[in-house]
Amino acid sequence: MELTVDIGNSYTKFCIFDNEAIIFNLITKDVTERLLADITGRHPVTHAIISSVTDNKNQIGAFLQKKAIPVLTVSHTTAIPIVNRYGTPETLGMDRLSAAVGAYSMKPGETSLIIDIGTCITYDVIDSSNAFIGGNISPGYKMRLDAMHAFTDRLPDVPAGDRPASRIGHSTLEAMKAGAYHGIIYEAEGMIAYLTKEYGKINVFLTGGGAACFAHRIAHEMIDAPNLIHLGLHKILRYNLTLDNE
């Protein structure tokens, strides 16, 4: 069994694979040694892989090494089964690259857009030659609301909460929520339209902790892929294990 760990800005996500099947899935804000001991105690993990946008990988990596579980920490130098054409690979978030590998594993040889909605929103593209060509980063829903409050004198502090009632706000609070929420939808639809014009038919993957809020709202057929990063991490781990055995 293999353990995949995705450490994001707000949450840490764990998956355990038995061959190609995910048999365990956990999303948490608090990672403790007790939690790690429980996960590895209940599942005979043979190898692990970690992707992180923070420094918390050190805690998890150290625990796994103490348990004699080989750990691969993904970096821009890690071997991957696709081509990375990003201009500054050392600055690329490994969650973005892992999601691209996940999209490749599901739709090889096809152009795909990955929309990952979390604290930030990332739009990443893998083309039909199985190359990661880059993408865009923009603020997430809560970040947009927080920024309007932080950088103005009179706009209120609005919790993200539920979806806005309509596309047109009839109060300042409603206008902020509608602007932030529907702005994301228009942004996503604009990106899809641009890529469709450039590449023809594309696959659109929707993932991330905020994806459920926008599912069925974006006017395009979407592939719901909540574990896309983990599918990519598992693919990267297996790819490197194969290289080690050659």
Average pLDDT taken over every residue of the chain = 93
Q: What pLDDT shows up at residue 53?
A: 76
pLDDT band at 56 (very low <50, low <70, confident <90, very high): low
Question: Is 116 one of the annotated active-site residues of the chain?
Answer: no
pLDDT band at 90 (very low <50, low <70, confident <90, very high): very high
Q: What pLDDT shows up at residue 14?
A: 96
pLDDT band at 107 (very low <50, low <70, confident <90, very high): very high
Q: What pLDDT shows up at residue 162?
A: 74
Instruction: Give the tokens for residue 96.
Output: 């973005």
pLDDT band at 160 (very low <50, low <70, confident <90, very high): confident
For residue 58, pLDDT beyond 90: no
Sheet of 21-28, strand order? 21-28, 12-18, 2-7, 47-52, 71-73
Write down the pTM of the prediction. Answer: 0.91
- pLDDT tens by residue, 183-193: 999 999 999 99
For residue 176, pLDDT beyond 90: yes
Q: What pLDDT shows up at residue 163?
A: 80
Q: What pLDDT shows up at residue 216?
A: 87
pLDDT band at 246 (very low <50, low <70, confident <90, very high): low
Please identify which of the residues 6, 95, 116, 127 carries the catalytic annotation: 95
Using only C-alpha atoms, the chain has a radius of gyration, in whole angstroms, of 19
Lowest mean pLDDT among 135-139, 181-185, 215-219: 215-219
Q: What pLDDT shows up at residue 55?
A: 62
Where b means 16+ CB within 10 Å and e means fewer, 21-51 reads eeeeeeeeeebeeebbeebbeebebebbbbb
What type of residue sits at position 183?
Answer: G
What type of residue sits at position 66?
Answer: K
Mean pLDDT confidence for 53-68: 81
pLDDT band at 30 (very low <50, low <70, confident <90, very high): confident
Mean pLDDT confidence for 85-92: 95
Q: How far apart (Å, rounded) are the C-alpha atoms in residues 172 and 54?
A: 35
Mean pLDDT confidence for 86-93: 94
For residue 42, pLDDT beyond 80: yes
For residue 84, pLDDT beyond 70: yes
Question: Which is more confidently placed, 55 or 209?
Answer: 209
For residue 57, pLDDT beyond 70: no
**If you ran DSSP here, which 8-state letter would residue 167 be given?**
S
